[in-house]
Amino acid sequence: MSEIIRGIGAAPGIGYGPAYLLFPPSGPDLAEPAGTPADLERVQLAFREISADFQQRATDTTGARAEILHMTAGLARDKGLINNVLQKIQSGVGATIAVGQATAEYMQMLSSLGGYMAERITDLESVRDCVIAKLRGLPLPGLPEITTPGILVAVDLAPTQVAELDTEKVLGIVLEKSGATSHTAILAESMGIPTVVAVAERAKIKAGDNLLVRGQEGKIYINPQPVAVQKTLAAAPAQEKILTSLCG
């Protein structure tokens, strides 16, 4: 039986396809030993490498993608953030835990400022997750493999992750968090990906569920009737590539 859940429309358009779920990154190693002088070097190197990676990706693209990647690279070079991490390590906190704690404090500051600054929190989370993965020797946080064009569903997405999306395969985005004016939403709209954010019932969506996303209205239809899907897509000529994908 089909079900409708709602959020805030962040990028207009209509998308239809199977749901692909993005799971959260691994996070700090809670069992790691106390910080050492060697960790000070490791952390600084990790921040430099992550910043360079974002900067290279900014150089390889243009427009809103390049701008957001460039700003994220700048966050990974922020001296106040890095110095806070180093101070925590010097006090005996483990490296990845120190990164998590320092970024949490930075995010709290951004949140208190509100407005545009609060929207940078997702960018900072992306830096945190990449640095922690680098320190733990794990693959950098990535997107699920999308074999059939469909809908990407997540708690949240960093703008840097949106910038990597293949618009021929990602036909819509559904997020539990984020906001209509976030970098994530702005970038998704610039790429023409229908997006709904602040979806409180996001957890109702299971991997493989067929989703119909109406970005303008902020509605997600879970396993809608095929006839209803065809009528909706047929009434949206701007979504021709989606209809073509649906009909094979």
H runs (alpha helix) in the chain = 37-59, 63-75, 79-90, 95-113, 115-119, 121-136, 159-162, 183-190, 226-234, 240-247
Q: What is the pLDDT of residue 28?
A: 94
Which of 4-13, 68-77, 130-139, 225-234 bottoms out in mean pLDDT, i.e. has the lowest?
225-234
What is the total residue count of the chain?
248
| Arithmetic mean of pLDDT over the chain | 89
Inform me whether the pLDDT recorded for 244 exceeds 80. Answer: no
Average pLDDT over every residue of 209-215: 95
Q: What is the pLDDT of residue 240?
A: 44
Give the Å distances, CA to CA, from 11 to 84, 138, 158, 186, 189: 36, 33, 16, 8, 5
- pLDDT tens per residue, range 16-40: 999 999 877 889 999 999 999 999 9
Percentage, residues of the chain above pLDDT 70: 95
Phi and psi of 18, rounded to 5°?
A: -70, 150
DSSP string, 162-195: HTT--TTTEEEEEESS--TTSHHHHHHHHTT--E
Q: What is the pLDDT of residue 121?
A: 85
Q: What is the pLDDT of residue 111?
A: 85
pLDDT higher at 31 or 68: 31
Q: Please list, in sequence order, all residues whose beta carbon lies within 8 angstroms of the beta carbon of residue 63, skipping any fewer than 6 positions away.
A: 190
Average pLDDT over every residue of 64-93: 93
- pLDDT tens per residue, range 138-193: 888 777 888 899 999 999 888 888 888 999 999 999 999 888 888 889 999 999 99
Inform me whether the pLDDT recorded for 234 exceeds 60. Answer: yes
